[in-house]
Structure 1
């Protein structure tokens, strides 16, 4: 059974844990960087990216997160987590973890009160995924090795590059675990490759 960590600095940690468990994988709440070595994949939940960055720095997580990525272990960023993975952020000079060849724009769907839900088609996952957008970012540009998985109103809202998966919305706030399942599958495949 694969073990999937959920970075528990901020955001919908409990909901992600529930979603991972619904897919038959083991979920591990990650509160200290040392715990990263025990998991096969990692979810970076939504929240507020600047606050998350402050907490990542405060608890000295950054080098360990970059190392985790270098080991070829899959990472899944949702909403603010997507911003953490991006190599470029509109209006900011430096990225956070910066491992995914995408440019993201923060809050591109408006403020909190403009939150909404929409059924979207996600390539290889679902034709009708209930996506919850809360102050969501979107992907403005994607490198040539990035696979676009979903769009909403012509904006890219989900993408994958190798072991990295990112989406603008909150899959964990619904009972639909198909996108989490897709990530669990990525983790299984990466683990098999590691031991092949």
Structure 2
């Protein structure tokens, strides 16, 4: 399937990182055969993408100058999402340093920019155009469209961030309300949709890796 080194038929670029002072070891992405990587996407370096994950069109996941990244099972990374990490900074997951760690069944919507060091917990929803720069985000959270999260804040489980809200201090993070009843099943429906969509793409089209 490879047209030439690292370039796949629909312009997916799956390639090892260049050696850098920050990341001297050269590593290729590890992508499950049950994952879907759509046309135009770029995945560089020590990135693991687990089974049934969906990477949308023109998404970019760059571990070219950072610690490893992990995208969990049934997580959907939608179109034009950019995932990167600050060089030499990391979080610890099971005593292992990671640049970005995204657990299972997370939704990250179009044009979001999750920037590490970053942890996103299971069943969390990240809306369109959300900007994150350094954070620990718990499980079952809902981060609505256009929100900004930064300065390495820690957001607990089941927390809600309103559209356009800025969370830049730990005091603001600690004051976040619980997810309203209206949004409690939002992420589950999206995860189910993208799981089925990925399966359909694999079975009926060539628009995937």
In which range does the TM-score fall when normalised by the shorter chain? under 0.3
Larger Rg: 2
Q: Which has the higher helix share?
A: 1
Which fold has the larger relative contact order, with Cα–Cα distance below 8 Å and residues 6 or more apart in sequence?
1
Normalized against structure 1, the TM-score is what?
A: 0.27
